[in-house]
Structure 1
Amino acid sequence: MATPNEAKIGFATLSDGKTAGETIHGKTSGETIQLQLTAEVLILLREEYVQREVDVEENGNESVLDSVRTVVVHREKVGGLGLSVKGGSEHKPLVPAMISRIIPGQAAAKTIQLYVGDAILKVNDVNIETYTHDQVMEALKTAGDVVTLTVRYFKPAAVFLNKSSDPSSFNDNERNISPPGVILPRLEKQWVVYSSIPLLYAYLTRYVGQTDQLRINSFELVGIDGNTSGVLHFDDSHSLAEWVAAITNNILSLLNQMIKMMNRLLLPEEQIQYMGWTQERGSPGNSTHGWRPKFVALKGPDIYLFDVPPMQSRDWMRCDTVFQVYECMFKILQDSELLDDKQHCCSIQTCSKETIYLTLESRSDLLQLEKAWYRTNHSAVTKLKSKTFGCVHHGRLSGLTLDIDVGFSLYDSETKTYLWTYKFSRLKGSSDDGKQTLKLHFSSDKEGQTETKKVECSSLQLLLYCIHSFLSAKLASVDPSFLANM
């Protein structure tokens, strides 16, 4: 398995990923890309032609480069002028009409005065420098049987018009590909950096954007600035797994470093337990019910959901989606509870009856979020110590208190006394009507018997979530292995 801060070099096939079928069904098309992974960035390189510099002494006499030449070409019945032309005034920046190919043995080649890279300035004394490509071709076509071309050699263009610029590679009929004494620089294929994705706050996904469709042997890396690697396809699942593990481990390492740096500036009760990317699914029936990236952070007693990771302290205060963890219910979804084909999903139910559906890239990522949730909850409840809910007991106003040390207590507002107290360990179960009535079943002092206490609370959902949070926090307090094994 890959380890954090792994350096890695390899190859993948890059596709634009515009259609799911390119990779979902194991099919892919695109160019070969070299990948270079460092601790902080994924670098993408593509193979391009790079000009090799030629010494001036090696280049010989290039006086022809500065001269305007007039060449007469006799059109032939078969083959015409025997040349091809590229460029025209429609190109921005302006590219003159240039001879891109001279056909061996035909009219242009027979003059021994025209070369690939010659810019055509005039046709029969008519200036065509401002002509479009189509206009140039029409001028050449209608110029007659004897055509006078006014040309100037343009070496930079010649290099790219003729990528096989080594004169030794030409046959005798192609020696006039460049002027005598002019040695074109060789174009060599090299791996050139064309994109790099910083790993800090980046996320990797194997799914087609906003869908539950899993790409085969492919993933996409998206940087914090929205810059993307494109869809990178690998030959087999083993190569894919290695790259996914290496990249995600490096991302996690950078996030952990960022968390440590931020925590140095925060109070103990405001420490960050977790930061990372998830995908959130919109509610069914909502026009935006597809999956979209959400950056999740567990800080202090709260869970934050950002569209963009927090870069400054004020970003935390501006977050629109914030909930206290002990007032929510976290649950890893079973297969029967999944909303679609996305795997590794969880739900967060809030006291406002809102349900947030999240998915992570792997089972390991999901379990890390779960562990961080319970650590955050334990810290928050331990800091809070107790929470009281207004309720009605036997028709009288009361207060049901959850206390991390004491357990459940019911305070009667009329007599100003506690009517009953039970430790958390004595709770055997509960039932409710989904509205406001809650029954708590405690073990009795008499063996094998239970005592049921009934209360009515207008904030029933919030009360139930807090009971669950206090119970899990208490379990973590009396059994340290609870959090260690999460």
Structure 2
Amino acid sequence: LGPGASSPPAAAPRSPPRADTRYIPLQLTHLARNLKYHDAENRCIELHSPDGIHSCILRAVDPQEATTWFNALHSAIGKSTQKALLDANRALVAIIGELKFIGWLSRRCSGEPNGRSSSESSDELDKWQSIFVAVTDREFRLYESAPWSVEAWSRPFECCPLVTTRLAGAGNTSTVGSNSSAQSSIFCVRCGTTRGVLSHWLRSETNRDMAAWARVLVQGCHTAIITQREFSFRCLYQGRPCQLIVHLDRGFTLLDSSLVGSGAPITKALWSFPFDKLKGSADDGNKLLFLDFAGGLEDGSGGAEIELDMECCPKPVVFVLHNCLSAKVHSLA
């Protein structure tokens, strides 16, 4: 987990190796049930190596014994994961930020490029894949396998700022599939990007794990918003190039940026509204953002309904807005 590391550290057994014994390191191993091996009797436990290549399937005499072994392994892996997080932070804080939470989850496979649910059969809806997830102080990161080097930590296959990430809620039979045996441990994370909304249906192995992930995500999004406080987005307003400023305390301000080329400072505010004047917002999912404010504009032009051309998908603005409002409400609780 440190600089120069390229593979998982070898686990040295306390006793001499035996031909009839197999040693399985538990650090960052994915412990799961009903992931790659269908187990209708709930007697099996799956252990998948950190690199995702090797697997070990254990079958107990009955479901009770399987649960006992699962809980013991879950506790041991949880402790080793916390140690791995501390070790990784010593090498990574200056590179990707501080790791707040790491671990394995299962992600529902989807043929949709944006991760949205489609009219797939229930068999398709029940297909899951292992992903390693990390929440830093700034980002939500997804990896195909557990990173074992600084270079690997720097190359997630999906990365989204927490300020444009939202916990959307738990799954149900209409969205996740009626055959799932762990619906109570399923949750959805949505990321607003310039490509649209990326939806990740994720499954933890226990309700307690799901609660921990939910808490880290919600608190992380709020903390990221409070830390940055101000967010700027390029846009067009009535054909004029502008900057939309969303500020945690001051609300919305639209600045005229048409004078940027002349070297003049951007000081002219076309309009400004606090959050409590916002009556509603909408977007077309393509590039247009609609804001409806109470009171209208001071110069009387355009009324209270404002249309902004964000020149790309407006979802990042929408998610920042929702997280700002959520953080403000949470601070009052």
Shorter-chain TM-score above 0.5 = yes
Deviations 1:298-330 (A, max 9, x none): 124222211221122121223332222223343
SS at match of 1:198: coil
**2:206 corresponds to 1:368:** no
Residues 1:281 and 2:108 are matched in the alignment: yes
Is the CA contact (8 Å cut-off) linking 2:30 and 2:47 kept in structure 1?
yes
Residues 321-344 of structure 1 show CA distances to partners (whole Å, capped at 9, x for unaligned) of 222222334322431321563321
1:341 lines up with 2:179 in the alignment: yes
Displacement of 1:380 in angstroms is: 2.8
- Alpha-carbon spacing, 1:268–1:222, altered in 2? closer, same or farther (3 Å): closer
**Quick one: structure 1 residues 291 and 390, their matched pair in 2 at CA, closer, same or farther if it must change by over 3 Å?**
same
Mark the CA change 1:285 to 1:262 in structure 2 (over 3 Å): closer, same or farther: closer
Counterparts in 2 of 1:281 and 1:270: CA distance versus 1, 3 Å: same
Written as runs of structure 1 = structure 2, the 5 A alignment for 1:413-432 is: 413=257, 416-432=267-283
Q: Any idea what the Cα deviations from partners look like across 1:236-279, whole Å, max 9, x if unmatched?
A: 4x443333233212212221222223334425981101101011
Amino acid at match of 1:366: M
Partner of 2:144: 307
Instruction: Name the structure 1 match of 2:130.
Output: 293
What pairs up with 1:70-469 in 2 under 5 angstroms? 194-209=21-36, 215-224=41-50, 226-236=53-63, 238-265=64-91, 266-267=93-94, 270-284=97-111, 290-335=127-172, 336-339=174-177, 341-342=179-180, 343=183, 344-351=186-193, 352-353=195-196, 354-413=198-257, 416-442=267-293, 451-459=304-312, 460-469=314-323
Query: What is the CA distance between 1:294 and its match in structure 2?
Result: 0.7
SS at match of 2:24: strand
RMSD: 3.4
* CA apart distance, 1:210: 7.3
The answer for the alignment partner of 2:4 in structure 1 is none
Q: Structure 1: how far apart are the matches of 2:33 and 2:78?
A: 17
Q: Is the 8 A contact 1:197 1:227 kept in 2?
A: no
For 1:268 and 1:442, locate their aligned partners in 2 and report how far apart those are by CA, in whole Å.
41
Q: Taking every aligned residue pair, what percent have the same amino acid on both sides?
A: 22
Q: What is the CA–CA distance in structure 1 between the aligned matches of 2:221 and 2:209, rounded to whole Å?
A: 18
C-alpha distance in 2 between matches for 1:400 and 1:305: 30
Match of 1:51 in 2: none
Q: d(CA) in 2 for partners of 1:198 and 1:307? A: 19
Cα distance between partner residues in 2 of 1:387 and 1:369 = 26
Q: Distance in 1 between matches of 2:304 and 2:49?
A: 57
What is the aligned partner in structure 2 of residue 148 from structure 1? none
Using structure 1 for the length normalisation, give the TM-score. Answer: 0.51
Cα gap change, 1:349 to 1:219, in 2 (>3 Å) = same
Query: Which one is further off, 215-224 or 248-257?
Result: 215-224
Contact residue 46 and residue 57 of structure 2 kept, 8 A = yes
Cα drift, residue 234 of structure 1? 4.1
Alpha-carbon contact 2:252-2:275 (below 8 Å) kept: yes
* Larger fraction in strand: 1
Give the number of the structure whose alpha-carbon radius of gyration is greater: 1
Query: Letter of the aligned partner of 1:338 in structure 2?
Result: V
Partner SS for 1:387:
strand
Change in 2 beyond 3 A, CA 1:414/1:293 = closer
**Match of 1:462, as an amino acid?**
P
State the 1:397 CA deviation.
2.9
Listed as ranges, the gaps of 5+ residues in structure 2 are 1-10, 14-18, 114-123, 260-266, 297-302
Counterpart CA distance in 2 for 1:227 and 1:269 is 28
Quote how far apart the aligned CAs of 1:467 are: 1.8
Q: Per-residue CA shift, 1:431-457, capped at 9, x if unaligned?
A: 233333323234559xxxx95443232
User: What is the CA deviation profile of residues 158-198 of structure 1, one whole-angstrom value per residue up to 9, with x for unaligned ones?
Assistant: xxxxxxxxxxxxxxxxxxxxxxxxxxxxxxxxxx9622322
Equivalent residue, structure 1, for 2:121 = none
Instruction: Tell me the TM-score normalized by structure 2.
Output: 0.72
Residues 297, 209 of structure 1: alpha-carbon distance in 2 compared, 3 angstrom cutoff: same
| Structure 1 gaps, min length 5 | 1-40, 44-191, 482-486
SS where residue 23 of structure 2 aligns?
strand
